[in-house]
């Protein structure tokens, strides 16, 4: 039972990190040109900057 | 394909941006006006300049790389970024080292359509609403996944696992700590919309949703406080997650359609080249042109506003205005309407109307009246919602009253009413339409059809009559040499020497028929008449019959050029606008699908009759003005027909707006592309057929999805009303029905296409 008091916060914290990563991605325009960013990695002079 | 992997990947899909035969068809036709983009350059504080272009035809990484590299290679360009999903290209450059016109021409030389954007008409607005929905969706998804960590152990007690009441209550409290803040945050879009509707004393879909979320949360807290067995925290966030997926998909579709429509509007930002008192020229945005301004119209440019020719002579292509294919000669003193394309000579024009007063503006007003009549259409989803809301509310109310009458305590009655609200919540309903539309528009996009309005597919599925414009729709809009066999190779080769020196479209056809070769060095072009040169010491002329020195007994109405050389028989070149290669097949397929087809053209009766006969159509009308066409569409609508209009000219634009649903080819006038619901690319007419086919399939999927959700409700609601629903059952039912409708929508993706579509792909 005591194991849960350790495991639950860890599980929640991991989920929360995922949520923060998602929010960061939305905030930095990474959802604005889904097709373009997907195709961009195939270019030789690839860069990962979002569209200005 | 040396530098990237992408082109080989996309080659099979036939990306138009690739250097193949197809690319030539998609590239802007020679003579596409490069309006001077100078007027649309934005200056930054540090002296750098920014220009936004809309690029047409770029669909893959290869296109993107080619364009960006091509622009960055120009000295003075510091940055070029293309967004593939919107086709928008942002260029930052040094205005002292690069002329904006060079940038546009560079992209066009790479084989893509590129036009400057009027920044006033399309501000780079961030899609704030879409982001808000996406963030809400992220929060709801995070919460519903993590709540499961506590819900599943609680459910396991139903299968015989042991759990102390205190542990269960602790798990409920933990669920509440995650679910309640998440629901309060992620539920905002629904709460706000429901509140706004209630304030106006109306209801919408969001009212029962908000009610269910709030009631279920409150009830679960009450249960937890009293160490009850059932808490619905997981259902609350899962409900919000599914609804937000539907909401986000729907929003993205609408946003895409809105951006496409607005981009086309911004593209109408053409500039006029105004000649000053001192003879200098400057680019002026169209809205700033005043009557009395003296304008320069170069060959290949369109007449920007209505005006009178003051100097110069040329041939004008009026096909976008009237549908007439033959070039019309103009001389000083003649009035010209905005939209006419200058073919051969330089013209000086005195503006007689400003842009708000011109022929174009009149067309725009006609379009507006058409669009107003169309906005009365109510989407299927909205009609279903209207039925849905009162049914759900009365079912929940009946449940509460029924249980009270049966003598249950209020807690149980409210618990069961709440279960009804949760279980009937329109997860599947909210996904039923957006999921289908996302898949359908995605499939059409790959087939070269851009869907510009959200409900266009729904309307397209309902048509029973198709009206085609002739020039540029049924026909390619480009003249072809039809009597090649009657001309000797020697005559053709000689005529081509003159033809290659000219930009006139008929001369270009002659040059193309003869193949590549040299142009006569001493050739001179007389605008509005023809080309003259000395060949082997003899004077030769290619042009109008009267100018070439041929006396005719009377014209047979054919489009023609005469080629004369001193001491030889004159040679006649006859041209005709030929049908698109698959026009006959498409028209036949449409008729086989039970649709009636008719031709509505502004061209001369003889030309229209010939086209109609070639297609086997009896129903045709010629010499139609824009007013006539719009009136015909209204008459058809009044007689109970639902009409698809396919047209490209400016003269078609009002008719396009008046039709139940409309399509325009990518070569169409900008105004027509704006007025149409869908725009299709390419040299084939088959996208019309494909679009109709996909629309029918999409409607079938939508109906199936509604039936699926109705069936789900028919089974689940009675169970809920009887008070047999547990939180686990609610969670399973909700996700199962949502998955079912989504999978059903995805069936559209793999569905076999029509015959014409197969032909295109192979």
The answer to whether residues B139 and B182 touch, using CB atoms and an 8 Å cutoff, is yes
Q: How far apart are CA B454 and CA B458, in angstroms?
A: 9
Q: How far is CA B673 from CA B26, B58, B708, in A?
A: 16, 18, 37
Whether residue B124 is predicted with pLDDT greater than 60 in this model: the reply is no
Residue B134 with chain A: CB contacts under 8 Å: 26, 31
Q: How far apart are CA B184 and CA B193, in angstroms?
A: 14
Output the six-digit token pair for B316: 């004008």
Mean pLDDT along residues B614-626: 86
CATH number of B449-464+581-681: 3.40.50.1000
Whether residue B3 is predicted with pLDDT greater than 50 in this model: the reply is no
Q: How far apart are CA B759 and CA B198, in angstroms?
A: 53
All structural domains of chain B with their residue ranges = 6-116, 128-260+383-436+697-750, 271-358, 449-464+581-681, 478-576
pLDDT tens, B535-561?
887 888 888 877 777 777 666 667 788
Across the interface, of B3, B134, B138, the residue whose CB is closest to A44 is B3
pLDDT tens, B413-435?
888 888 888 888 777 778 888 88
Output the six-digit token pair for B208: 């029962």
Taking one residue from A and the other from B, the number of pairs with CB-CB distance under 8 angstroms is 67
Check the CA dihedral B349-B352-B357-B362 and report its sign.
negative
Reply yes or no on whether B469 is catalytic: yes
Mean pLDDT along residues B32-51: 68
Residue B83 with chain A: CB contacts under 8 Å: 32-33, 36, 51
Most confident of B41-50, B556-565, B707-716: B707-716
- Supply the pLDDT for residue B260: 67
* Chain A CB within 8 Å of residue B5 CB: yes
Which residue of B48, B69, B81, B244 is the best one to mutate when testing the A interface, meaning the one whose CB has the most A CBs within 10 A? Answer: B81
Whether residue B176 is predicted with pLDDT greater than 90 in this model: the reply is yes
* Chain A CB within 8 Å of residue B9 CB: yes
Whether residue B136 is predicted with pLDDT greater than 90 in this model: the reply is yes
- Supply the pLDDT for residue B323: 66
pLDDT tens, B470-514?
888 888 877 788 888 888 888 888 888 888 877 777 888 888 888
Taking any CB pair shorter than 8 Å as contact, residues of chain A touching chain B are: 8, 11-12, 15-16, 18-19, 22-23, 26, 31-36, 39-40, 42-45, 51-52
- Phi and psi for B634 in degrees, rounded to 5? -65, -40
| Bridge partners of residue B114, in order along the sequence | B55
Instruction: Classify the phi-psi angles of B530: left when phi > 0, otherwise alpha if psi is within -120 to 50, otherwise beta.
Output: left
What CATH number matches the domain at B6-116, 3.30.70.100, 3.30.70.3270, 3.10.129.10, 3.30.70.2390?
3.30.70.100
Residue A32 with chain B: CB contacts under 8 Å: 83, 126-127
Instruction: Classify the phi-psi angles of B560: left when phi > 0, otherwise alpha if psi is within -120 to 50, otherwise beta.
Output: beta
The answer to whether residues B271 and B259 touch, using CB atoms and an 8 Å cutoff, is no
What CATH number matches the domain at B478-576, 3.40.1110.10, 3.40.50.300, 3.30.230.10, 3.40.190.10?
3.40.1110.10
* Chain A CB within 8 Å of residue B131 CB: yes
Whether residue B57 is predicted with pLDDT greater than 80 in this model: the reply is no
In a domain, A12, yes or no: yes
Q: How far apart are CA B90 and CA B40, in angstroms?
A: 12
Q: How far apart are CA B70 and CA B716, in angstroms?
A: 60
The SS3 assignment for B569 reads coil
Nearest to B580 by CA among B445, B451, B468: B468
Nearest to B603 by CA among B629, B635, B569, B632: B629
* Chain A CB within 8 Å of residue B170 CB: no
Q: What is the mean pLDDT of chain B?
A: 79
Whether residue B20 is predicted with pLDDT greater than 90 in this model: the reply is no
Burial class (CB within 10 angstroms; exposed 0-12, middle 13-18, buried 19+) of B454: buried
CB contact under 8 A, A52 and B174: no
CB contact under 8 A, B131 and A52: no
Q: How far apart are CA B228 and CA B544, in angstroms?
A: 95
pLDDT tens, B223-242?
899 888 888 898 899 889 98
Check the CA dihedral B275-B281-B283-B288 and report its sign.
negative
Q: How far apart are CA B33 and CA B300, in angstroms?
A: 6
- Supply the pLDDT for residue B365: 66
Whether residue B621 is predicted with pLDDT greater than 70 in this model: the reply is yes
Range(s) of the domain holding residue A36: 2-40
Confidence of residue B180 (pLDDT cuts 50, 70, 90): very high
Check the CA dihedral B475-B481-B483-B485 and report its sign.
negative
DSSP B20: S
Q: Which residue has the higher pLDDT, B632 or A34?
A: B632
- Supply the pLDDT for residue B557: 65
- Supply the pLDDT for residue B141: 92
Tokens 């989803």, located at residue: B381
In a domain, A11, yes or no: yes
The answer to whether residues B87 and B264 touch, using CB atoms and an 8 Å cutoff, is no
Q: Which residue has the higher pLDDT, B256 or B557?
A: B256
Tokens 């602790």, located at residue: B170
Contacts of B571 (CB under 8 A, 6+ apart): B487, B491, B495, B562, B563, B564
Q: How far apart are CA B35 and CA B271, in angstroms?
A: 6
Give the CA radius of gyration of chain A: 17
Nearest to B344 by CA among B379, B298, B402: B298
Mean pLDDT along residues B691-713: 89
In a domain, A48, yes or no: no
- Supply the pLDDT for residue B162: 77
Whether residue B369 is predicted with pLDDT greater than 70 in this model: the reply is no
CB contact under 8 A, A15 and B5: no
What CATH number matches the domain at B271-358, 3.40.190.10, 2.60.40.10, 2.70.150.10, 1.10.1040.10?
2.70.150.10
Number of domains in chain A: 1
In a domain, A27, yes or no: yes
Burial class (CB within 10 angstroms; exposed 0-12, middle 13-18, buried 19+) of B289: buried
Output the six-digit token pair for B135: 């963030």
The SS3 assignment for B573 reads strand
pLDDT tens, B382-393?
777 777 778 888
Task: Please report which residue ranges of B12-90 form alpha helices under DSSP H.
Answer: 21-26, 61-72
| DSSP H or E stretch at residue B644 | strand B643-646
Weakest mean pLDDT among B511-515, B705-709, B758-762:
B758-762
Which residue of B50, B64, B130 is the best one to mutate when testing the A interface, meaning the one whose CB has the most A CBs within 10 A? Answer: B64
Whether residue B339 is predicted with pLDDT greater than 80 in this model: the reply is no
In a domain, A50, yes or no: no
In a domain, A52, yes or no: no
């Amino acid at each position: 039972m005591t194991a849960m008091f350790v495991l639950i916060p860890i599980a929640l914290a991991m989920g929360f990190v995922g949520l923060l990563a998602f929010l960061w991605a939305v905030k930095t325009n990474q959802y604005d040109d889904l097709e373009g960013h997907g195709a961009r990695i195939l270019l030789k002079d690839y860069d990962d900057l979002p569209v200005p | 394909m040396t530098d990237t992997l992408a082109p080989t990947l996309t080659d099979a899909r036939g990306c138009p941006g690739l250097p193949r035969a197809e690319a030539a068809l998609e590239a802007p036709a020679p003579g596409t006006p490069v309006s001077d983009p100078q007027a649309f350059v934005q200056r930054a504080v540090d002296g750098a300049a920014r220009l936004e272009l809309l690029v047409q035809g770029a669909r893959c990484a290869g296109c993107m790389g080619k364009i960006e590299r091509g622009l960055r290679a120009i000295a003075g360009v510091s940055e070029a970024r293309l967004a593939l999903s919107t086709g928008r290209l942002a260029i930052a450059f040094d205005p002292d080292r690069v002329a904006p016109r060079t940038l546009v021409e560079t992209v066009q030389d790479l084989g893509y359509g590129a036009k400057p954007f009027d920044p006033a008409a399309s501000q780079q607005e961030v899609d704030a609403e879409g982001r808000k929905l996406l963030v809400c969706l992220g929060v709801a998804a995070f919460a519903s996944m993590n709540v499961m960590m506590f819900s599943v152990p609680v459910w396991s007690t139903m299968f015989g696992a042991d759990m102390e009441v205190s542990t269960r209550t602790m798990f409920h409290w933990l669920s509440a700590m995650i679910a309640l803040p998440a629901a309060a945050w992620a539920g905002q879009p629904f709460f706000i919309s429901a509140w706004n509707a209630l304030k106006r004393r109306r209801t919408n879909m969001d009212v029962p949703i908000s009610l269910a979320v709030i009631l279920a949360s409150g009830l679960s807290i009450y249960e937890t406080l009293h160490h009850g067995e059932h808490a619905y925290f997981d259902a609350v966030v899962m409900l919000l997650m599914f609804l937000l997926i539907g909401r986000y998909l729907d929003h993205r579709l609408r946003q895409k359609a809105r951006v496409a429509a607005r981009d086309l509007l911004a593209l109408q930002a053409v500039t006029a080249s105004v000649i000053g008192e001192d003879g200098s020229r400057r680019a002026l945005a169209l809205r700033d042109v005043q009557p009395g301004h003296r304008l320069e119209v170069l060959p290949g440019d369109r007449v920007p506003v209505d005006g009178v020719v003051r100097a110069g002579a040329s041939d004008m292509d009026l096909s976008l205005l009237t549908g007439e294919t033959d070039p019309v000669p103009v001389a000083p003193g003649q009035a010209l309407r905005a939209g006419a394309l200058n073919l051969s000579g330089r013209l000086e024009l005195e503006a007689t109307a400003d842009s708000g007063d011109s022929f174009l503006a009149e067309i725009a007003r006609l379009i507006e009246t058409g669009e107003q009549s169309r906005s009365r259409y109510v989407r299927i989803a909205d009609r279903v919602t209207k039925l849905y809301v009162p049914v759900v509310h009365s079912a929940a109310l009946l449940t509460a009253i029924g249980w009270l009458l049966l003598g249950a305590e209020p807690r149980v009655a409210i618990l069961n009413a709440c279960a009804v609200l949760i279980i009937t919540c329109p997860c599947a309903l909210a996904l039923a339409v957006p999921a289908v539309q996302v898949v359908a528009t995605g499939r059409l996009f790959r087939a070269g059809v851009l869907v510009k309005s959200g409900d266009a597919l729904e309307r397209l599925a309902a048509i029973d009559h198709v009206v085609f414009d002739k020039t540029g729709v049924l026909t390619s809009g480009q003249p072809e040499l039809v009597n090649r066999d009657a001309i000797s190779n020697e005559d053709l080769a000689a005529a081509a020497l003159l033809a290659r020196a000219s930009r006139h479209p008929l001369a270009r056809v002659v040059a193309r028929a003869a193949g590549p070769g040299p142009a006569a060095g001493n050739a001179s072009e007389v605008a509005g008449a023809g080309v003259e040169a000395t060949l082997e010491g003899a004077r030769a002329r290619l042009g109008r019959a009267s100018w070439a020195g041929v006396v005719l007994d009377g014209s047979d109405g054919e489009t023609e050029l005469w080629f004369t050389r001193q001491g030889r028989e004159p040679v006649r070149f006859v041209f005709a606008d030929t049908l698109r290669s698959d026009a006959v097949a498409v028209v036949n397929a449409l008729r086989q699908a039970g649709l009636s087809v008719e031709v509505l053209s502004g061209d001369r009766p003889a030309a229209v009759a010939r086209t109609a006969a070639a297609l086997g159509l009896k129903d045709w009308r010629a010499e139609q003005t824009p007013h006539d066409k719009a009136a015909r569409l209204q008459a058809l609508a009044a007689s109970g027909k639902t009409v698809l209009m396919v047209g490209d000219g400016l003269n078609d634009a009002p008719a396009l707006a008046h039709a139940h649903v409309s399509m325009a080819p990518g070569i169409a006038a900008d105004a027509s592309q704006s007025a149409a619901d869908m725009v299709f690319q390419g040299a084939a007419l088959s996208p019309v057929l494909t679009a109709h086919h996909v629309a029918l399939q999409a409607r079938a999927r939508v109906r199936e999805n509604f039936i699926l959700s109705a069936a789900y409700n028919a089974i689940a609601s009675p169970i809920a009303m009887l008070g047999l629903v547990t939180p686990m059952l609610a969670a399973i039912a909700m996700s199962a029905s949502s998955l079912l409708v989504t999978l059903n929508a995805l069936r559209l993706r793999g569905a076999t296409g029509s015959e014409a579509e197969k032909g295109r792909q192979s």
